[in-house]
Chain A
Amino acid sequence: MTALSEPAARAVPATGAVGRSIPRPDAEAKVRGAAVYTVDLAEAGMLHAAVLRAELSAARITRLDTSAAAGLPGVHAVVTGADAPALSGMLVVKDQTVFAIDTVRYAGEPIAAVAAETPEQAAAALAAIELELEPLDPVVDLDAAVAPDARLIHPGWADYAAPVDGFRSGNIAWDARLEKGTDEEWSAAFAAAHRVVSDEFRVPRQHQTPLEPHACVARYTTGRYTVHTSTQFPHSVRSRTAELLGIRPSAVRVLVPTVGGGFGGKLDAMLEPMACLLARRSGRPVRLVNSRAEELATAGPRENAVLRLRTAVDAEGRILAQEADVLTDNGANSSGETVICAGLPALALGSTYRIPLARYRTRVVYTNTAPTAAFRGVGGPYVVFAQESHLDHVARALGVDRRELRLRNVLRPGEAMVNGQALDDPILIEALESVERRAPWDRERPATPGKLRGKAVVPLTWLTNPGPGEASVSLSDDGTVLVTTAATEIGTGAIQTGVRQIVAERLGVHVDDVLVSTPDTDAAGFDNGAQGSRTTYGAGNAAGEAAGELREQILRTAADMLEAAETDLEIAGDVVQVAGSPGASVTLAAVSAAAMWSSGPLSATGRFVAQPPEFDAGCVIGGLFSTINATSSHAHAAEVEVDPDTGEVTVLTYVVAQDVGRAINPAMIVGQVNGAVAQGVGYALYEDLRIGPDGRVLDRNLETYRIPTALDVPPIDLEILENPLPTGPYGAKGVAEPPIVPVAAVLACAVSDAIGVTVTDLPLSPFAVLAALRANRR
Chain B
Amino acid sequence: MNYRLTVNGRAAEVDVPGGTPLSDVLRDHLHLRGTKVSCGTGRCGSCTVRLGDRAVASCLLPVALAEAEPVTTVEGLSAPDGPLHPVQEAMVSCHGVQCGACTPGMVMTLSTFLDTTADPDAGQVREALTGNLCRCTGYHTIVDAALTAAAATRTPREDRP
Please give, as numbers and ranges, the residues of chain B lying within 8 Å of A260 by CB-CB distance.
Answer: 36, 38, 99-101
B135 within 8 A of A: yes
A675, B98: Cβ atoms closer than 8 Å: yes
Beta-carbon contact of B91 and A31 below 8 Å: yes
Give min CB distance, A309 to chain B, whole Å. Answer: 30
Is B153 part of the binding interface, using a Cβ–Cβ cutoff of 8 Å?
A: no
Q: Is A652 an interface residue (CB 8 A)?
A: no
Which A residues touch B33, using CB under 8 A? 33, 36, 40
Given A26-B100, A211-B46, A491-B100, CB of A701 within 8 Å of CB of B130 = no
A225 to B44, CA, bound (A): 34
Encoded as 1 (CB less than 8 Å from any B CB) or 0, chain A from 703 to 741 comes to: 100011111010110000000000000000000000000
User: A564 at interface (Cβ–Cβ under 8 A)?
Assistant: no
Q: Is the CB of B100 within 8 A of A35?
A: yes
* Residue A493 CB within 8 A of the other chain: yes
Chain B residues with CB under 8 Å of A715's CB are 140
Are B139 and A678 neighbours in the complex by a CB distance under 8 Å? yes
Cβ of A671 and Cβ of B39 under 8 Å apart? Answer: no
- Which of B80, B135, B143 touches A263 (beta carbons < 8 Å)? B135
Q: Are the C-beta atoms of A212 and B99 separated by less than 8 Å?
A: yes
Complex: A258 Cα to B103 Cα, angstroms: 13
Residues of B within 8 A of A490 (CB): 99
> What is the minimal beta-carbon distance from A743 to any residue of chain B, in angstroms?
11
Given contacts A33-B75, A702-B41, A716-B138, contact A211 B99 (CB under 8 A): yes
Whether a CB of chain A sits under 8 angstroms from the CB of B117 is no
Contacting pair A31 B88 (CB below 8 A): yes
Residues of A within 8 A of B103 (CB): 30-31, 33
Nearest residue, chain A, Cβ from B95: A667
Shortest B159–chain A CB gap in Å is: 23
A144 to B161, CA, bound (A): 67
Q: Does B97 lie at the interface of the complex (its beta carbon under 8 Å from any beta carbon of A)?
A: yes
Q: Are A291 and B40 in contact (CB-based, < 8 A)?
A: yes
State which residues 619-672 of A face B: CB under 8 Å.
667-668, 670-671
Q: In the complex, A709 Cα to B109 Cα: how many Å?
A: 14
Whether B43 and A702, one on each chain, are in contact in the complex, defined by CB atoms closer than 8 angstroms, is yes
Residues of A within 8 A of B141 (CB): 670-671, 674
Asked if residues A711 and B127 are in contact (CB atoms below 8 Å), the reply is yes
CB of A211 within 8 A of CB of B44, answer: yes
Is B112 interfacial (CB 8 A cutoff)? Answer: no
Q: Is the CB of B133 within 8 A of A707?
A: yes
The answer on a CB contact under 8 Å between B99 and A23 is no
Interface presence of A5 (CB below 8 A): no
Proximity bits, B1-43, A CB within 8 Å = 1, else 0: 0000000000000000000000000010000111111111101
Q: Count of chain B residues with Cβ under 8 Å from any Cβ of A? A: 52
Tell me if A702 and B138 are in contact (CB < 8 A).
Answer: no
Contact B44 A37, beta carbon cutoff 8 Å: no
Is A24 in the interface zone, CB < 8 Å from B? yes
CA A677 – CA B140 in complex, angstroms?
Answer: 11
A30 with B127: CB separation less than 8 A:
no
Cα distance A703–B125 in the bound complex, in angstroms = 22
A28 at the interface (CB under 8 A from B): yes
Measured between beta carbons, the chain B residues less than 8 angstroms from A492 are 98
Q: Does B58 contact A (CB under 8 A)?
A: no
A32 and B98 CA atoms in complex are apart in Å by 14
Q: Does B147 contact A (CB under 8 A)?
A: no
Evaluate contact between B35 and A33: CB separation under 8 angstroms: yes
Is B151 part of the binding interface, using a Cβ–Cβ cutoff of 8 Å?
no
A447 at the interface (CB under 8 A from B): no
CA distance A209 to B129 in the complex (A): 18
B residues in contact with A667, CB < 8 Å = 95
Interface flags for A674-718 (1: CB within 8 Å of B; 0: not) read 111111000000000000000000000111000111110101100
Q: Which residues of chain A are within 8 angstroms of B130 by Cβ–Cβ distance?
A: 709-711
Interface string of A21-58 (1 = CB under 8 A from B): 10110111111111111011000000000000000000
Residues of B near A32 (CB, < 8 A) are 34, 74-75, 77-78, 80, 84, 88
| A202 is an interface residue with CB less than 8 A from chain B | no
Known contacts A671-B95, A702-B43, A715-B140; A212/B74 CB under 8 A: no
A710 and B142: CB pair below 8 A? yes
Measured CA separation A211–B135 after assembly (Å): 7
B127, B134, B136: residue with the most chain A Cβ atoms closer than 10 Å = B136
- In the complex, which residues 110-149 of chain B have their Cβ closer than 8 Å to any Cβ of chain A? 125-127, 129-130, 132-143
With contact pairs A32-B84, A213-B38 given, residues A709 and B129 touching in the complex (Cβ less than 8 Å): yes
Known contacts A32-B78, A292-B39; decide if A675 and B91 are in contact (CB<8 Å).
no
Asked if A347 is at the interface (CB within 8 A of a chain B CB), the reply is no
With A39-B36, A292-B40, A710-B139 given, name 12 new contacts (CB 8 A).
Answer: A23-B95, A27-B92, A30-B100, A31-B91, A31-B104, A37-B36, A210-B135, A674-B140, A678-B138, A709-B129, A713-B139, A716-B138
The 3 closest A-B pairs by CB, nearest first: A33-B34, A491-B99, A30-B100
- List 24 contacting pairs A-B, 8 Å CB cutoff, sorted by A: A23-B92, A23-B93, A31-B74, A31-B97, A32-B74, A32-B88, A34-B34, A40-B33, A211-B44, A211-B133, A211-B135, A212-B38, A261-B98, A292-B38, A491-B99, A670-B141, A671-B95, A674-B140, A674-B141, A677-B138, A701-B43, A707-B135, A710-B132, A716-B138
* A interface residues, Cβ below 8 angstroms from B: 21, 23-24, 26-37, 39-40, 208-213, 258-263, 291-292, 490-493, 667-668, 670-671, 674-679, 701-703, 707-711, 713, 715-716
